[in-house]
């Protein structure tokens, strides 16, 4: 194993982590502020990817598609909040899970109805095609570096938004005492819609960026949703900082596990066996990490102040 | 009165023309119509229904249900189809892990299972069954063909497949024929969509060729990411990795990839041309190999049902085994374990008139059976 390979794998882990952060940030924000478990967050990711693929196919520009993905996911999020989610805040978590699970089914079948079952084509924009040389003599895809950069910008933007703006102040207030900020005259309903749309837009952005790298298809959001839940549970539900660290931890653990475990096992058993067992254990690794972290810190790494 | 009787007899005889069946036949199709693997299931269903429609027989009914690529759901649907729909033949499952959950119990209950795709090794050898037929191949076959092809000019191969029965069959099949050295043998998660970690290993492995078996969305994700990675090693795989259901979504990144298949849209025989024209007319897209396999499965069932009653399992099974059909693949017959003996070709992904599709290059295997048939005692 060379240093170049290890560096490349580390970047891969970071990139996966950044993508998970975009998903987890919205999820944890919504849970932190509204106390809502939103299983349909993966559907908003899918909406972003489909919007980007469709608009990019119409206009020929990935960038217009990317903007469309933000708009479409935010709009879908706002509509869902106004029509369905709003009625769920006072219900218990089981009702929320049921209702948002129903939303997943509706989004999936609706998308299939509109776009069919075959994956859509969405390519990486010409500007970000290809690979660049890294120190150590290896190459790395430009687009993955761009995802890491975009994630860093979003993380910094969210930090500024939450710590420096009035909206951020209200979000923080909402996290620590929902009734009180309502009593202080803040329009809590609008705040909820805005937060939900913001979380949806982040999911849509992640969907569009990843869509160009993977395949844009119905049901693409659910595997990511599961990972995003792992992230926020590790990070501490409701904490953006926790989501960031949790996402990077999960991203790097997953990538390094897939890469290193078969190699380590190959020292003891035949390569074919090592590949099979290593692959199986690697797919469990993040859950093992989650279990260990929860055993030590039952409320995650950075538990939100209230809860 | 006499006239009326004559008219009635005439009406009856008119009504029965085209009904060559001894008994009505009910087929239960369980396939993947939702989720990431839906493209494969839809091609399976459409190919199957095309042959049923061409047969034009009112005595055949097909009930179709979606398994969502979930084994537990497939089992429930199979139970329902056998017990309350009273189907005679089950078919349609795309994935080997689902097939393993359904087919053994279906044949144990005396139902025929004609597979349109999944063909795990476990059902081809010692555990073969008189009621289980496979119209597609045995899982290893297309991978064996690529192993044979890789012997020409590739000294060190990096091989990769998802960690499920067909993935294991795939790499086993490849290794059975490939004589060179292996750079690495990697198993990924089923449904995995990010292959950055594996591509990095390929880059560092020093391999001169890469073999990937990644059906459906997995293959789309892999090929797009591979094209961006700057790794310049040639990629090859079984036909599934570059099948018509995924090529439009992969785009130009797939061009030049070599694959193995029992059929490609450029096959020059009458049955293939008719199938291609009918399919495009009916569904307005190019068929994948899943559609061909399902089309042949339906043809096989229809052909057998026109000669024997499905209620007489021995006779129906014997008719099925004759494989009296015009397959778009050309030659097609059943081996002793009721899996196909057929030719397997090398194909290459090309762009023709703006459409990305597969072109036949050469024949790799002629009359190829499978390695498990010798263990099958039926």
A5 in contact with chain B, both atoms CB, cutoff 8 A: yes
Note whether A258 contacts B: Cβ–Cβ < 8 A.
yes
Q: Are B181 and B133 members of one domain?
A: no
**Residue B10 pLDDT:** 47
Supply the pLDDT for residue A147: 93
Same domain, B131 and B149: no
Which structure tokens are listed for B243? 């099948």
Residue B348 belongs to domain with CATH number: 3.40.50.2300
The pTM score is 0.82
The answer as to whether B6 is a domain residue is no
Residue B164, domain extent: 141-261+344-374
* Burial grade of B307 (CB within 10 A; 0-12, 13-18, 19 or more): middle
Q: pLDDT at position A135, please?
A: 77
How far does the CA of residue A71 sit from the closest CA of chain B (Å)? 24
B324 contacts: CB under 8 Å, gap ≥ 6: B303
CB contact under 8 A, A124 and B224: yes
Does one domain contain both B190 and B278? no
A148 Cβ under 8 Å from any chain B Cβ: no
- State pLDDT tens for residues B121-180: 999 999 999 999 999 999 999 999 999 999 998 999 999 999 888 898 899 999 999 999
Q: How far is B254 from chain A (nearest CA, A)?
A: 13
| pLDDT tens readout for residues B225-261 | 998 888 889 999 998 889 888 888 888 889 999 999 9
Kindly indicate whether the ipTM for this predicted assembly is greater than 0.85, answering yes or no: no
Say yes or no: B287 and B313 in one domain.
yes
Of B42, B188, B228, the CB nearest to A130: B228
Q: Does A16 contact B at CB distance below 8 Å?
A: yes
Has residue B20 got a pLDDT over 80?
no
Tell me whether residue B176 is in a domain: yes
How far is residue A290's CA from residue A253's CA, in Å, rounded to a whole number?
Answer: 11
Contact flag A123-B251 (C-beta cutoff 8 Å): yes
pLDDT at B13 over 70: no
- What is the three-class DSSP state of B260? strand
Same structural domain, B107 and B185? no
Distance of CA B275 to the CA centre of its chain: 16
Query: DSSP for A227-291?
Result: HHHHHHHHH-TT-HHHHHHHHHHHHHHHHHHHHHHHHHHTTTS-HHHHHHHHHHHHHHHHHHHHH
Do the domain assignments include residue B2? no
User: Which positions of chain A have pLDDT values less than 70?
Assistant: 1, 304-307
Give the pLDDT band (50/70/90) at residue B14.
very low
Is position B220 within any domain? yes
> How many domains does chain B contain in total?
2
Same domain, B284 and B240: no
**How far, in whole angstroms, is CA A215 from its chain's centroid?**
16
In a domain, B300, yes or no: yes
Judge whether A151 and A19 are in contact, CB under 8 Å.
Answer: yes
What would the mean pLDDT of B179-197 be, rounded to a whole number? 89
Do B212 and B349 fall within a single domain?
yes
Q: Do B291 and B178 share a domain, yes or no?
A: no
Chain B hits for A1, CB-CB cut-off 8 Å, are: 204
Q: Is residue B24 part of a domain?
A: yes
Segment B325-354, tens digit of pLDDT: 999 999 899 999 999 999 999 999 999 888
Residues 113-142 of A with CB under 8 A from B: 117-121, 123-124, 129-131, 138-142
A-contacting residues of B 177-196, CB under 8 Å?
Answer: 182, 184-189, 191, 193-194, 196
Residues of B in contact with A123 (CB under 8 A): 224, 251
Cβ distance A214 to B194 less than 8 Å, yes or no, reads yes
Q: Is A54 on the interface with B (CB under 8 A)?
A: no
Percent of chain A past pLDDT 90, that is, above it, reads: 52
Whether B251 is covered by a domain: the verdict is yes
**What's the pLDDT score for residue A307?**
44
Flag whether B3 is in a domain: no
pLDDT confidence band for B3 (50 / 70 / 90): low
Beta-carbon contacts of residue A38 (< 8 Å; ≥ 6 apart): A27, A30, A31, A85, A96, A100, A199
- Model confidence at B8: pLDDT above 60: no
Query: Does one domain contain both B68 and B163?
Result: no
Confidence label for B18 from pLDDT (cuts 50, 70 and 90)? very low
pLDDT of residue B17: 41
Whether B283 has its CB under 8 Å from any CB of chain A: the answer is no
Hey, is the C-beta of B176 within 8 angstroms of any chain A C-beta? Answer: no
C-alpha span between B273 and B267 (Å, rounded):
7
The minimum CA-CA distance between B110 and chain A, rounded to whole Å, is: 34
Is the same domain home to B358 and B219? yes
Using the predicted structure, report yes or no on whether residue B67 has a pLDDT greater than 60. Answer: yes
* Average pLDDT score over chain B: 90
Residues B305 and B239 in one domain: no
Give CA A131 to chain center in angstroms: 25
The rounded distance, in Å, linking the Cα atoms of A58 and A287 is 41
Check whether residue B367 and residue B237 sit in a common domain: yes
């Amino acid at each position: 194993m060379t240093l170049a390979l290890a560096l490349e794998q580390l970047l891969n882990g970071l990139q996966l982590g950044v993508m998970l952060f975009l998903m987890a940030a919205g999820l944890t924000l919504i849970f932190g502020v509204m106390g809502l478990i939103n299983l349909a967050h993966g559907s908003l990711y899918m909406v972003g990817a489909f919007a980007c693929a469709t608009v990019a196919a119409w206009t020929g520009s990935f960038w217009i598609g990317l903007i469309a993905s933000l708009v479409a996911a935010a709009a879908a999020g706002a509509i869902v909040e106004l029509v369905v989610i709003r009625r769920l805040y006072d219900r218990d978590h089981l009702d929320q899970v049921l209702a948002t699970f129903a939303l997943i089914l509706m989004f999936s079948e609706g998308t299939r109805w509109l776009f069919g079952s075959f994956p859509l084509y969405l390519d990486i924009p010409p500007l970000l095609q290809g690979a660049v040389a890294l120190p150590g003599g290896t190459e790395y895809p430009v687009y993955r570096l761009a995802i890491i950069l975009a994630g860093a910008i979003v993380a910094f933007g969210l930090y500024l938004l939450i710590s420096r703006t009035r909206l951020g102040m209200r979000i923080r207030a909402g996290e620590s005492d929902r009734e009180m900020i309502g009593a202080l005259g803040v329009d809590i309903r609008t705040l909820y819609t805005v937060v939900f749309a913001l979380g949806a837009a982040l999911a849509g952005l992640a969907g569009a960026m990843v869509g160009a790298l993977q395949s844009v298809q119905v049901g693409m959001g659910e595997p990511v949703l599961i990972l995003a839940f792992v992230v926020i549970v590790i990070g501490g539900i409701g904490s953006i900082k926790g989501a960031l660290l949790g996402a990077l931890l999960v991203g790097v653990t997953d990538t390094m596990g897939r890469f290193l475990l078969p190699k380590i096992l190959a020292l003891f058993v035949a390569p074919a066996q090592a590949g099979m067992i290593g692959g199986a254990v690697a797919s469990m690794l993040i859950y093992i990490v989650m279990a260990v972290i929860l055993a030590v810190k039952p409320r995650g790494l950075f538990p939100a102040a209230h809860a | 009165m006499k006239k009326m009787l004559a008219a009635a007899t005439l009406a009856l005889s008119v009504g029965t023309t085209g009904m060559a069946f001894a008994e009505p036949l009910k087929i239960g199709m369980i396939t993947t119509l939702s989720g990431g693997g839906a493209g494969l299931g839809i091609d399976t269903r459409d190919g199957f229904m095309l042959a049923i429609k061409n047969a034009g027989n009112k005595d055949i009914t097909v009930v179709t249900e979606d398994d969502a690529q979930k084994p537990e759901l497939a089992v429930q649907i199979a139970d329902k189809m056998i017990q309350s729909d009273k189907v005679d033949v089950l078919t349609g499952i795309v994935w080997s892990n689902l097939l393993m959950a359904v087919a053994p119990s279906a044949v144990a209950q005396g139902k025929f299972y004609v597979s349109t795709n999944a063909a795990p090794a476990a059902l081809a050898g010692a555990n073969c069954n008189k009621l289980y037929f496979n119209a597609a191949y045995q899982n290893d076959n297309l991978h064996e063909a690529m192993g044979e092809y890789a012997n020409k000019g590739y000294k060190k191969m990096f091989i990769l497949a998802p960690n499920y029965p067909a993935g294991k069959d795939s790499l086993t099949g490849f290794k059975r024929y490939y004589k060179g050295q292996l750079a690495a043998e990697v198993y990924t998660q089923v449904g995995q969509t990010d292959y950055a970690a594996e591509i990095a290993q390929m880059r560092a492995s020093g391999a001169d060729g890469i073999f990937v078996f990644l059906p459906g969305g997995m293959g789309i994700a892999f090929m797009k990411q591979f094209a961006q990675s700057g790794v310049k090693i040639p990629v090859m795989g079984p036909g599934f990795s570059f099948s018509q259901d995924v090529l439009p979504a992969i785009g130009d990144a797939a061009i030049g990839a070599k694959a193995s298949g029992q059929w490609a849209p450029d096959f020059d025989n009458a049955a293939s041309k008719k199938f291609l024209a009918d399919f495009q007319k009916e569904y307005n897209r190019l068929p994948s190999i899943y559609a061909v396999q399902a089309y042949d499965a339906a043809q096989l069932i229809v052909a057998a049902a026109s000669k024997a009653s499905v209620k007489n399992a021995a006779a129906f099974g014997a008719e099925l085994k004759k494989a009296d059909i015009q397959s778009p693949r050309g030659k097609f017959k059943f081996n002793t374990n009721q899996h196909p003996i057929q030719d397997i070709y090398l194909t290459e992904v090309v762009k023709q008139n703006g459409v990305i599709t597969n072109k036949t290059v050469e024949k790799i295997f002629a009359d190829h059976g499978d390695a498990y048939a010798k263990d099958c005692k039926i």
